[in-house]
Structure 1
Amino acid sequence: MNTFFCAESSRQAGEDIIGSGTNYPTYIFVECPTPWAGNAFESKSIPPNLQALVAQVKQSQLRVRFLLLAPNQSQPTNGTKVLIFDQEQGVLSRGYQKYEYNLASIEQVAGVVEQYLVGEKPDCAPETSETRDIMVCTHGSHDKCCARYGKPFYREASAIVAELSLSQVRIWQASHFGGHRFAPTAIDFPTGRYYGGLDGDSFKSILTRTGDIECMNRVYRGWSILPTSMQVLERELMLMHGWDWFDYQVAGKIIKQSFNNSTIKAELTCKTPNDSIYTYLAELVRDENR
């Protein structure tokens, strides 16, 4: 029996996980019963019209990430929930805007999503509640690390949220979104920040934005609104500014890069809640050992 787990190997090696938060402007989460296939949208509960839409979007090379969510037992819905997160428009951003729809069945998902993607107003009205949605990968049929580390952490995270009485925070089980060797791994919306190697203490700090900010050196994978090559710069600024950084609006761009991307000149601008604006320039050199 193969007992090797890449996540354990990564932790033992002290691998730096920054720069692994994939960069997408749009995420679409569809509630779907488990079990899921290794390729989530080939699962038996996915109707043909939704499979066709996902394939069409992929072929068109639109930067849209489709993922599944297991039904949330703590907040059940009669039907199928769809969560769409679109990156905030404008030069500076704090993350994503949420659009939440409750549909009668999963067969209706493709039509609503297609309307949304072409810029039409979907036939159903969105939910208007403000929530914080944390997606934990538990997709064991894709990679065993996601089940081995993701499922226990999902239960622990749910218990912590209940203990802290954070009624606006929802914990979800999600299909695979990359980084199984960093399991347990999660995405925190609406900010769109990726985390890995999580435990109870670091999760409490992330939830409450208190405690030692240095834990981000270990668990922060990066911010999805930024190119992966710039995420290490954002982490350094986070460590410099502390938890206040999470209230800043940010924009980042690559000014210049070498032909093989081994050296990058990057610019990151942030705006504080009191409207102070700071711009940072950095030269980033690729670690050839990674």
Structure 2
Amino acid sequence: MPRLKLCADDSRAAGEDPIGTAPHWAEVTVLELDVPMWARLRDVNAWTAEQQDVFAALRGKVEASGAGFGLLMSAPTTPGRTLCVRHYTLNDGALNNGGTVGGGYVRRDYASDLPQSDWARGLHDTLLDPSALTGGDWTERPAPAGPDLHVCTHGTVDAACGRYGVPVYQALGGAGVRAWRTGHFGGHRFAATAVELPSGLLWAHLTPELAVQVARREVTPAQVAGHLRGFAGLPPLAQLLDRHLLVQHGWDWLNRARRATVETHPDGEHTVTLTASGPHGPETYRAPVLTAAPLHLRGSSHSGDTAPVRQFTLGTVTACAGHA
């Protein structure tokens, strides 16, 4: 049987536009876990009753609120250390109080004396009961400034992430950028793929050189627009309008709090309305999102099966009169 090509190679060759493939997260928990622990967390059949209960409660939270959450597993800089978590919450306060700065997520760091096998406690206490982070088993530590690049290097899940993710992770570290070897978070065919926090941007098809340029903002948004999966703080279709505005306004756009709604019409097309904090108060933009011809791609390097992959185009963008 011939060896399958990497799914990421197929995606690039097909010219897939990755925008709108970022998950929509209201908050993100990063668990610092040694690589062998990643497989244990992913092994649903081996979960304890406590771990099962935590995920059942998290499913209930998502169903009740409609707000998703991110779970990232990143290898700690010192293997074998006790459980540490980084918790990011979406920063939309600037829209509520009229401020102009407040894009992306707000990071808070917590250390404990718990073993890494108690990872379910980290999820419970950040995502379900944040009051437990005050005292008890947790000690809050100052969060460092600057970006964190979480690069999927999980080659056992998909070979593309091992082939392309590891060199990107190494290049970022060599350039002095804070980078993390990270477990699978979706999007094998976008390898090397990365979650950038606190900006909340997800990236696709990074090369070692491009990853460093993106982290240092040595390229313009227009130059890397085709590598952007989207801003996780917005619904997927709203990420198309957000990318357009990022290209238009430049990297400073990321300092604005943004929220959006997506209206679906009877014909299946959509209209996105996005409001962002601005220098003189909230600004609102609107645009149609149109369905383009789908691509047929493999979602995994380990399977020959293809499936339709949706593609979209953005219609004319208008700034709403008087803004909102």
TM-score range, shorter chain: 0.7 to 0.9
The letter of the residue matching 1:156 is A
- 1:188 pairs with 2:196: yes
1:125 is matched with 139
Other-structure match for 2:269? 263
Contact 1:138 1:151 in 2 (8 A): yes
Deviation at 1:97, TM superposition (A): 1.6
Counterpart Cα distance in 1 of 2:187 and 2:14: 15
Deviations 1:60-108 (A, max 9, x none): 25223323111225xx684222112121253735121212111222244
Letter in 1 for 2:242: E
Deviation at 1:39, TM superposition (A): 7.6
CA displacement, residues 203-233 of structure 1 (integer Å, 9 cap, x when unaligned): 2332222333322222110000100011111
Which residue pairs with 2:121 in the alignment? 111
Sequence identity percentage? 27
1:126, CA displacement in angstroms?
Answer: 1.3
CA contact (8 A) 1:38 1:142 kept: no
8 A contact 2:85–2:122 mirrored in 1: no
2-structure distance, mates of 1:94, 1:113 = 24
Of the three residues 163, 166, 183, the one matched with 1:148 is: 163
Cα 1:32–1:50 shift into 2, 3 Å: farther
TM-score by length of 2: 0.76
1:134-283 maps to which residues of 2 (within 5 A)?
A: 134-160=149-175, 162=176, 169-254=177-262, 256-259=263-266, 262-272=268-278, 274-275=279-280, 277-283=282-288
CA shift in 2, pair 1:141/1:106, >3 Å:
same
Matched AA of 2:152 = C
Report what 1:101 is aligned to.
Answer: 110
Asked if the contact 2:31/2:122 (under 8 Å) is kept, the reply is no
Structure 1 unaligned runs (5+)?
Answer: 163-168
2:33 equivalent in structure 1: 32
Match for 1:149: what amino acid? Y
For 1:264, the aligned partner's letter is H
TM-score, length-scaled by structure 1: 0.84
Structure 2: which 5+ residue stretches go unaligned? 63-67, 96-101, 295-309, 311-324
Supply the distance in 1 between the matched residues of 2:254 and 2:213 (Cα, whole angstroms): 12
Deviation at 1:32, TM superposition (A): 1.6
Corresponding residue number in structure 2 for 1:85: 88
126-135 or 147-156: bigger deviation: 126-135
Count of residues in Structure 1 that have an aligned counterpart in Structure 2: 277
Query: Secondary structure of the equivalent of 1:19?
Result: coil
Structure 1 residues 247-268: Cα deviation after superposition (integer angstroms, max 9, x where no partner)? 22222222x21246x3111111
- Secondary structure at the counterpart of residue 98 of structure 1: strand
TM-fit CA distance, 1:13:
1.3
2:93 is paired with a residue of what secondary structure? coil
CA–CA distance in structure 2, aligned partners of residues 244 and 86 of structure 1: 20
- Larger displacement relative to structure 2 (104-113 or 80-89): 104-113
Between stretches 135-144 and 106-115, larger displacement belongs to 106-115
- Structure 2 counterpart of 1:210, which letter? E
Distance 1:204 1:107, change over 3 A: closer
- Go from structure 1 to structure 2 and tell me whether the alpha carbon gap of 1:263 and 1:217 turns closer, same or farther (over 3 Å shift): same
